[in-house]
Structure 1
Amino acid sequence: MTSTTRPATDPTGPTEGLTGLVRRTVLPDGLRVVTEQMAGVRSASIGVWVNVGSADEDDVLHGCSHFLEHLLFKGTARRSALDISVALDEVGGEFNAFTAKEMTCFHARVLDVDLPLAVDVLGDMLTASLLEPADVDAERDVILDEIAMHDDDPDDVVHDLFAELAWGARTPLGRGIAGTVESIEALTRDQVERFYRTHYRPATTVVAVAGNVDHDAVVELVAAAFEGYGPGGAVEEPVSRLATGARVPVHAGRAHVERPFEQVNLVLGMEGLRRDHPDRFALGALTTALGGGTSSRLFQEVRERRGLAYSVYSFSSHHADSGLVGVGLGCLPERLDGALDVVRAELVKVAEGGLTEEELRRGRGQLRGGLVLGLEDSGSRMSRLGKAELVHERYLPVEEVLSRIESVDVHDVARVAAEVLRGEEILAVVGPGRA
């Protein structure tokens, strides 16, 4: 195995003590283990990050990643579903999982002395789940309920519609994560099991641990718990949708889905930046200053000065092969046109003139504060480690991120705003009336 120690960079100023000792080991089978040792905590957080999500599915397997995430909690040869739940509950641990477009994560947070238990349970789930036919059928109904619940949330619906307009309803990024009623009802146990054996393997998996931990001890625990992890038989190698390095195009579009909600929810946006783009820090400062808090330009113009909406915000999303930037808001139906006019006008102003020094200063401050305050527990540190290793294959110290944020100036923001905010418009609207 190979092992690398990544010590903290020399801290300066207010960032002192932000980064602990980060170490990385690659086991002989390719499984990566990354840890961060944190002083002064009694917790440990572990996440098993798998490089597969809804964007890796075709039409037939739509929703399979999320379905599989549920099924891995249903039991192994050593533990029933109840045993898995009890194991972490009886030590006061927190235990969950999530599926995204480009990754799936199983995570737990426990007292440091209970980390061996958490590693063993997660290893058991990922290496030896039974995927019993009865569990597949039972969990199918749970997921159909989850889809129905998701469909009742206007914010979820409008963001799904926005992605569908931007990338296309039949594309990996344009499809919803949970699948559709039709795709979930059609999935078979054999399809899910083959998906599991194809995508869940050492080379596609990262185990990230942060807290009061010793790296070498963690590596030993992971090596034991994940022994035999992998396909265990003849199965095709997963084919990455990113193999060609192609950029996924973003399309302009407009759609209104009528729903009997009290409010109209909308997302107005355009093509953004991919996750490895060098201007992503400037875009982050831009979107934060534009609509990231109560002092932001959009909040002041849309809500405070005109009272057109209760909630208004801006955002950017980054993927390996594409990105989006946008503004979301919720308002009464009769205020929709007025709110849209104001948002469009402010986007034009920023695209033509950028931000003021004061706006940028506030935006940078919000980014810095959000980053640092978000890293005060072991779970946040673990998430940062896991994502960095899985999607970037490089750990960026907190101090370096803060330095990059601080180096963004008004000229960088003006250039990025001119490039991005002049893009073709995508408008998704959900609620009563017509756009």
Structure 2
Amino acid sequence: MSRTRRSSSPAARRGVTSSGIARPAGGAARAVTRTLSDDPLGGTVRRTVLPSGLRVLTEAIPAMRSVSFGIWVAVGSRDETGPQAGAAHFLEHLLFKGTNKRGALEISSEIEAVGGETNAFTTKEYTCYYARVLDEDLPLAIDVMCDLVADSVLAAPDVETERGVILEEIAMHDDEPGDEVHDLFARAVYGDHPLGRLISGTEETVTPMTRRQIQSFYRRRYTAPQIVIAAAGNLDHAAVVKLVRQALRGTPLDTDPAAPAPHRSATPAVRTRPAATVVEPKETEQAHVILGCPGIDRLDERRFALGVLNNVLGGGMSSRLFQEIREQRGLAYSVYSYASQYADSGLFAVYAGCAPGKVDEVLDLTRAELARVAATGITEAELARGKGMSKGSFVLGLEDTGSRMSRLAKGELLYGNLMPVDELLARVDAVTLDDVNALAADLLGRPMSLAVVGPFDESAFAAR
């Protein structure tokens, strides 16, 4: 054990490290728990940092009879090298295939036998494994989910089986042009940067990937400081912490004391490519187009104004784009705007699905509307409506234990803190017309990239 300099700070005299891990006089680290909020719109939120650096957050909601339990790992597709592309997603599949205690059938049958459900998903910046069960079955869910995340065996036959499944998944994705166009747009903006790659990887990267490579990725990336465990529902925080510690005892996540990993840094900012047009020729009945540009990162103070602006432009049936393109002219069945935000970058874009012969008109109308809002802004009535949509969708999204569990984990993993519901609503209320219009002038005035999937020649949009 390395020596550290003596400090006269109050925290040091109490034996509390900068990570929030308390060290009694004997030197052994112990878990530290604190209450984060006692939310009138929910329940009591508590956070415990285990000596290993793993964090446990819970929201106790006694009125519920279920609990959602999730294990969130700060590892996603952007953490892969080029040859590793798809490793995080491959691993997500494999962890359900068996541990030193359970086979794949036992993992699924134990949860399903009590009426519960399990699943997982991989994003560009994190991976989540979760279960939803009756409150009385939470101990079982904790044991099963901690076991599969901490102690998977990654058996060679399972690697080959899941490789085939993933290759089928990639092929199926290629048959969904409405999904493919979003990946095409990300690639147009980010190029070879990991944010521009497919989360699933490609046939060229998944096919040669070995068990050893996946195992190495697993053990290097799935460490206790990178993990947040979150649960919401009818539960007791101390009991959850105790059950988690028991489930992880003796596994590779039962490690020496460490500080929790900080959330991803916003610097240096991701370098994006100059605006470009990319076309994927495909004989489809409908054309799929995305027009957009680099946006703002998730810690940008303008993110609340962006939520309002997005609602006004294309966030619902009353939005400008929906009314102009679908309701008044009937040019597209689906048209909407969206914002994606990462630690160090972001995207803002408009999607439309329309008949191939209507693409030019849809693009002209979209560009005209974006230019109009950039030049003259939105109205007071639109501001009020956009703020109401932001607040309503957020609060209504907290009506189930799964969304509340996700909120706990994302607050800790992505932001480093959990913003109380009342504070978040106040931040939306504080957005002014000037805030939105200044953001619109900046964001919507940027050069736009265009991604198209449909029955077009690659040169069809060269002049656009």
The partner residue of 1:217 within 233, 239, 243 is: 239
Provide structure 2 residue ranges, at least 5 long, that are not aligned to the other structure.
1-30, 256-260
- Tell me the CA shift for residue 7 of structure 1: 2.5
2:452 aligned with 1:429, yes or no?
yes
* Counterpart for residue 5 of structure 2: none
The partner residue of 2:56 within 27, 30, 33 is: 33
* Counterpart for residue 80 of structure 1: 103
SS in 1 for 2:272: coil
Distance 1:148 1:286, change over 3 A: same
The partner residue of 1:408 within 412, 431, 437 is: 431
Alignment of 1:71-150 (within 5 A): 71-150=94-173
SS in 2 for 1:277: coil
Q: Quick check: 1:56–1:241 contact (8 Å CA) kept in 2? A: no
Alignment of 1:156-305 (within 5 A): 156-168=179-191, 170-230=192-252, 245-251=267-273, 252-305=275-328
> TM-score scaled to structure 1, two decimals?
0.94
Provide the C-alpha distance between the structure 2 equivalents of 1:157 and 1:260, rounded to a whole number of angstroms. Answer: 14
- Tell me the CA shift for residue 388 of structure 1: 0.8
Distance 1:240 1:385, change over 3 A: closer
SS in 2 for 1:257: strand
Distance 1:49 1:163, change over 3 A: same
Provide the C-alpha distance between the structure 1 equivalents of 2:193 and 2:356, rounded to a whole number of angstroms. Answer: 31
2:82 aligned with 1:52, yes or no?
no
Q: Quick check: 1:39–1:212 contact (8 Å CA) kept in 2? A: yes
SS in 1 for 2:332: coil
| RMSD across aligned positions (CA) | 1.6
- Tell me the CA shift for residue 431 of structure 1: 0.8
- Tell me the CA shift for residue 179 of structure 1: 0.2
Q: Quick check: 1:4–1:23 contact (8 Å CA) kept in 2? A: yes
Which residue identity lines up with residue 33 of structure 1 in the other structure? V
Provide the C-alpha distance between the structure 2 equivalents of 1:117 and 1:245, rounded to a whole number of angstroms. Answer: 41
* Counterpart for residue 14 of structure 1: none
> TM-score scaled to structure 2, two decimals?
0.89
Which residue identity lines up with residue 379 of structure 2 in the other structure? T
Cα displacement string for residues 29-56 of structure 1 (whole angstroms, at most 9, x for unaligned residues): 1110000011311010011000000000
Distance 1:264 1:241, change over 3 A: farther
Cα displacement string for residues 96-152 of structure 1 (whole angstroms, at most 9, x for unaligned residues): 000000000000110000000000001110121110000001100000000011111
Distance 1:38 1:316, change over 3 A: same
SS in 2 for 1:92: coil
Provide the C-alpha distance between the structure 2 equivalents of 1:242 and 1:412, rounded to a whole number of angstroms. Answer: 26
- Tell me the CA shift for residue 240 of structure 1: 10
- Tell me the CA shift for residue 244 of structure 1: 8.6
* Counterpart for residue 67 of structure 1: 90
SS in 2 for 1:404: helix
2:376 aligned with 1:346, yes or no?
no
Which residue identity lines up with residue 377 of structure 1 in the other structure? D
The partner residue of 2:339 within 282, 307, 316 is: 316
Provide the C-alpha distance between the structure 2 equivalents of 1:250 and 1:185, rounded to a whole number of angstroms. Answer: 29
Provide the C-alpha distance between the structure 1 equivalents of 2:109 and 2:436, rounded to a whole number of angstroms. Answer: 51
Structure number with larger C-alpha Rg = 2
Comparing 178-187 with 303-312, greater Cα deviation is found at 303-312
* Counterpart for residue 36 of structure 2: 6
Q: Quick check: 2:263–2:416 contact (8 Å CA) kept in 1? A: no
Distance 1:228 1:267, change over 3 A: farther
| Aligned length, in residue pairs | 422
Structure 1's consecutive aligned runs of 4 or more residues displaced over 3 angstroms after TM superposition are 228-233, 239-244
- Tell me the CA shift for residue 261 of structure 1: 1.2
Distance 1:266 1:30, change over 3 A: same
SS in 1 for 2:52: coil
Provide the C-alpha distance between the structure 2 equivalents of 1:311 and 1:22, rounded to a whole number of angstroms. Answer: 39
**Amino-acid identity (%):** 52
- Tell me the CA shift for residue 231 of structure 1: 7.0
